[in-house]
Structure 1
Amino acid sequence: MNFKTGAALVLAAIAASSCAPNAPSPRPMASAMPQGPAVDGRWVDKNGIVSTFQAGAFSTRSTDSNTLLASGTYVTLSPTLYEINMTSLVRNTQSRVNCALISRAQLNCTTDTNGQFTLTRQG
């Protein structure tokens, strides 16, 4: 086969492939990381109180009886900053808490009265 014939065959193959319908793009594979905000999951404070963040809902429960202590909502302010608006069922008060995600396992929080606490990811 000479050069002209080979080149003509290559060009014909390219032209034929450009006429073929496009195959659908492969779907992205599911990520092993959970979807949603980075804070979603269970967190515990130094007293063993468990807080749960799940799709914009926030709750805090006692570890001994699983009693609901506080509930509310949270919003993502940035990839590492979160604002919780909650009602304490123990004190019957509403408050706002700002939390900074320091690492995948640590959340540093400040209440609207300047109280500070740290939550550690469970699991």
Structure 2
Amino acid sequence: MTTSRKLYSAGVLALLAAALAACSTSGPGGGGPGRPAPTGVEGAWIDAKGTGLSTFQNGVFQTVATDTGQRLSDGTYIMTGANAVQINGTSLIRQSPISFNCLLISANQLNCTSSAGQQFTLTRRAA
């Protein structure tokens, strides 16, 4: 993989992480026996390729590479509706701002779109 392709991939991962923060969960979910179903975007989310893990806690998000643990992006998120989240932050790889809007499709799926129009899906990581 070329350096520019690696940087592009890292940038996409950072965008995915940001998108995770932009989504919230509601409705029925599979919390498992003795555990309530997850609500909101709080917790850990992984991208479709399994390369970026984003965590959301108290309005703050951070994304790390699953293979190296390298921090890829960080920032903040806010709920803009019952199932809508806006994420703003910084790609630490590209040292540039990132912005995403996400919709909670189910308790475990966030569909996101970056400010550049890139679309991606995040899946809630099992505890």
TM superposition score normalised by structure 2: 0.68
Partner of 1:99: 102
Corresponding residue for residue 27 of structure 1: none
Q: CA deviation at 1:34?
A: 7.6
* 1:79 Cα deviation from its structure 2 partner: 1.8
Q: 1:81 aligns with which of 76, 80, 84?
A: 84
CA displacement 1:6-25 (0-9 Å, x = unmatched):
xxxxxxxxxxxxxxxxxxxx
1:40 lines up with 2:42 in the alignment: yes
RMSD between aligned residues: 1.8
* Structure 2: unaligned runs, 5 residues or longer: 1-34
Find 2:118's aligned residue among 85, 94, 115.
115
Runs of 4+ more than 6 Å apart:
none
Equivalent residue pairs, number: 92
One-letter amino acid of the structure 1 residue matched with residue 48 of structure 2: K
Q: Distance in 1 between matches of 2:44 and 2:94?
A: 23
CA contact under 8 A between 1:76 and 1:83: conserved in structure 2?
yes
Partner of residue 56, structure 2? 53
% same residue: 44
Unaligned 5+ segments in structure 1 are 1-31
TM value normalised by structure 1: 0.70
Larger Rg: 1
Q: Tell me which of the two structures has the higher relative contact order, counting C-alpha pairs closer than 8 angstroms and 6 or more residues apart.
A: 2
